[in-house]
């Protein structure tokens, strides 16, 4: 079958509905995944979808493809991604498929495909699936697999709730942003003992109030305003499929998620000193500093939930986190990214310390920091742009400590660390865009870095300044 090869990304499959993905292509992907599993003697999967409008049609087509290979399917319906992972444990199966495009706009969809408990495909496995689709090299079973429908909402809620114990009642503003988390998060937080105020609480896969993306400064600013109006203790935003969060403190200040990585690292290191903590190349210098100050071992690694999970396993780390809001707890959970559990863990820690969120991170090193900035760049050009940009970047800052593919094999960008902050450019693994982050300890240097970033981006005509995938570009463009 002819299919756009660019939808096969480094760890997920993701494309535009009606252009890259339709029912026939999705069914072929189901056949490929079923064949992939049969080769590994896996005969059962759990399968769920987020609330995107294409989800129901695509899930049916995907399941039809999977069962044609003789693999049984447990259909979990509309769920959060972490519930797919939980379903693997609940039904004791290595196989798992989640139809989601995470934080991409509503006209995208895609797949996270399990290859083990809490583990998803990496680059080699994704390309194996691509070859199977392109060559129609599918297993055709004499007996089709079965489809069983299961509702794991209550089982999942009980499993999460048994892992936390909140010491006091916090008032929390929750923003599902019309995503799948509307069905689950508010109720779970209430059952945990929180006073919950919910905004944008009507699930709608067209995302009428904008893409659920907790890295978007405009979304987070709107949440911050409600937190102040409600005199709440904090605000928590979720992405479309629920495995990522964003935080606002009681003063209405946005905490970019590298600060949250540092908070979780501090909490874990208080109990497990000398542990390794994994963080991605987009994170602030706050993260390694807090890890070292609290007796831990910082390990920087390439961006991507599959890569971070694999690194946590190989390093036997206690925790890992990303700027995007993926958090992986290996101390008292399954080790996969679960936005529900991350939200409850930070509320639990506040209660244990009897502190506000602003007090908790107030002792951390101070940086002026940009949000995660995303600018459109075609898939077929983004790698070349970053390779060219990195040459200029390293020449402009010869005294900086550089982290790139020479330090982290297979890394997708270049990072420069200075005595007073950092700057990083990378291409995305799951969309046609480039990501930038920078920081400094003084406003003067911060503005110099902001100007540098803008000038660098303007050098490349490949950059798309008006695109639905752009996030926080005004932060650079208006400098």
pLDDT in tens, 357-401: 999 999 999 999 999 999 999 999 999 999 999 999 999 999 999
pLDDT over threshold 60, residue 22:
yes
* CA distances to 313, 324, 445 from 261, in Å: 18, 10, 24
Nearest to 16 by CA among 472, 431, 463: 431
What span, in angstroms and rounded, lies between the C-alpha atoms of 324 and 246?
A: 8
- 309, 329, 364: which is the final residue of a domain? 364
Mean pLDDT across the stretch 167-189? Answer: 97
What span, in angstroms and rounded, lies between the C-alpha atoms of 16 and 462?
A: 20
Q: What is the pLDDT of residues 142-167, one digit of tens each?
A: 999 999 999 999 999 999 999 999 99
- The answer to whether residues 289 and 226 belong to one domain is yes
> Do 364 and 257 touch, CB atoms closer than 8 A?
no
Range of the domain at 81: 5-151
Q: What is the pLDDT of residues 428-475, one digit of tens each?
A: 988 899 999 999 999 999 999 999 999 999 999 999 999 999 999 999
What span, in angstroms and rounded, lies between the C-alpha atoms of 354 and 193?
A: 15
pLDDT over threshold 60, residue 479:
no
Residue located via tokens 């993905």: 21
- The answer to whether residues 313 and 380 belong to one domain is no
Residue 12 burial by Cβ neighbours in a 10 Å radius (0-12, 13-18, 19+): buried
Q: Is 102 a catalytic residue?
A: yes
Q: What six digits make up the tokens of 403?
A: 């982290």
Nearest to 261 by CA among 346, 322, 344: 322
- The answer to whether residues 52 and 103 belong to one domain is yes
> Do 166 and 194 touch, CB atoms closer than 8 A?
yes
pLDDT over threshold 80, residue 326:
yes
- The answer to whether residues 124 and 16 belong to one domain is yes
**Cβ contacts of residue 132 below 8 Å, gap of 6+?**
31, 32, 35, 36, 138
> Do 278 and 296 touch, CB atoms closer than 8 A?
no
* CA distances to 14, 121, 177, 282, 375 from 426, in Å: 18, 21, 27, 9, 11
- The answer to whether residues 169 and 147 belong to one domain is no
Strand-pair category, 401-403 with 13-16: unpaired
- 331, 364, 397: which is the final residue of a domain? 364
Q: What is the pLDDT of residues 183-232, one digit of tens each?
A: 999 999 999 999 999 999 999 999 999 999 999 999 999 999 999 999 99
- The answer to whether residues 309 and 408 belong to one domain is no
- The answer to whether residues 31 and 100 belong to one domain is yes
- The answer to whether residues 189 and 214 belong to one domain is yes
Strand-pair category, 171-175 with 13-16: unpaired
- The answer to whether residues 172 and 188 belong to one domain is yes
- 127, 151, 175: which is the final residue of a domain? 151
First to last CA, the chain: 47
CATH classification of the domain holding 427:
3.30.310.50
Q: Which member of 102, 275, 324, 369 is catalytic?
A: 102
Nearest to 246 by CA among 160, 169, 176: 176
> Helical H runs in 320-470?
339-353, 357-361, 379-396, 443-458
What span, in angstroms and rounded, lies between the C-alpha atoms of 360 and 350?
A: 7
Mean pLDDT of the residues in the chain: 96
What's the number of domains the chain is made of?
3
- The answer to whether residues 163 and 61 belong to one domain is no
- The answer to whether residues 113 and 34 belong to one domain is yes
Strand-pair category, 95-99 with 108-116: antiparallel
CATH classification of the domain holding 215:
3.40.120.10
Band of pLDDT at residue 478, cut at 50, 70 and 90 = low
- The answer to whether residues 435 and 295 belong to one domain is no
């Amino acid at each position: 079958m002819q299919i756009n090869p660019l939808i096969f990304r480094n760890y997920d499959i993701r494309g535009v509905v009606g252009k890259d993905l339709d029912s026939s292509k999705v069914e072929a992907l189901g056949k490929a995944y079923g064949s992939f599993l049969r080769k590994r003697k896996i005969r059962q999967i759990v399968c769920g979808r987020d609330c995107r409008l294409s989800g129901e049609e695509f899930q049916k087509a995907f399941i039809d493809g999977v069962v044609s290979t003789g693999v049984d399917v447990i259909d979990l319906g509309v769920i959060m991604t972490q519930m797919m992972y939980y379903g693997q444990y609940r039904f004791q199966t290595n196989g798992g498929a989640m139809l989601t495009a995470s934080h991409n706009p509503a006209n995208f969809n895609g797949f996270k495909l399990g290859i083990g408990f809490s583990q998803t495909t990496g680059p080699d496995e994704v390309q194996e699936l691509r070859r199977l689709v392109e060559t129609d090299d599918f297993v055709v079973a004499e007996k089709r697999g079965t489809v069983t429908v299961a509702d794991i909402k209550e089982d999942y809620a009980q499993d999460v709730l048994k892992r936390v114990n909140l010491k006091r009642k916090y008032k929390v503003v929750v923003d599902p942003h019309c995503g799948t988390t509307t069905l689950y998060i508010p109720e779970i937080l209430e059952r945990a003992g929180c006073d919950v105020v919910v905004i944008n609480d009507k699930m709608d896969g067209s995302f009428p109030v904008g893409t659920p993306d907790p890295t978007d400064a405009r979304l987070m600013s709107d949440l911050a305003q409600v937190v102040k109006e409600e005199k709440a203790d904090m605000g928590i935003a979720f992405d479309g499929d629920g495995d990522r969060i964003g935080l606002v403190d009681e003063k209405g200040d946005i905490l970019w998620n590298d600060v949250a990585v540092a908070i979780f690292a501090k909490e874990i290191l208080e109990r497990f000193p000398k542990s390794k903590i994994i963080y991605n190349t987009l994170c602030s210098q706050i993260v390694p500093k807090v890890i070292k100050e609290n007796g831990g071992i910082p390990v920087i690694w390439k961006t991507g939930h599959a890569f971070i999970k694999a690194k946590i396993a190989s390093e036997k780390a206690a925790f890992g986190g990303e700027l995007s809001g993926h958090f992986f707890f290996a101390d008292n959970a399954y080790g996969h990214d679960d936005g529900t559990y991350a939200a409850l863990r930070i509320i639990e820690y506040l209660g244990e310390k009897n502190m506000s969120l602003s007090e908790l991170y107030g002792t951390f090193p101070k940086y002026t920091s940009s949000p995660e900035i995303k600018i459109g760049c075609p898939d077929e050009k983004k790698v070349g742009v970053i390779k060219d940009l990195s040459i200029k970047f390293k020449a402009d800052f010869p005294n900086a400590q550089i982290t790139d593919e020479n330090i982290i094999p297979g890394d997708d960008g270049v990072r420069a660390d200075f005595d007073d902050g950092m700057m990083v450019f990378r291409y995305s693994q799951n969309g046609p865009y480039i990501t930038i982050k920078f920081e400094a300890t003084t406003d003067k240097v911060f503005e110099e870095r902001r100007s540098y970033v803008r000038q660098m981006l303007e050098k490349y005509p490949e950059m798309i300044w008006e695109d639905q995938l752009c996030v926080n570009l005004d932060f650079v463009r208006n400098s």
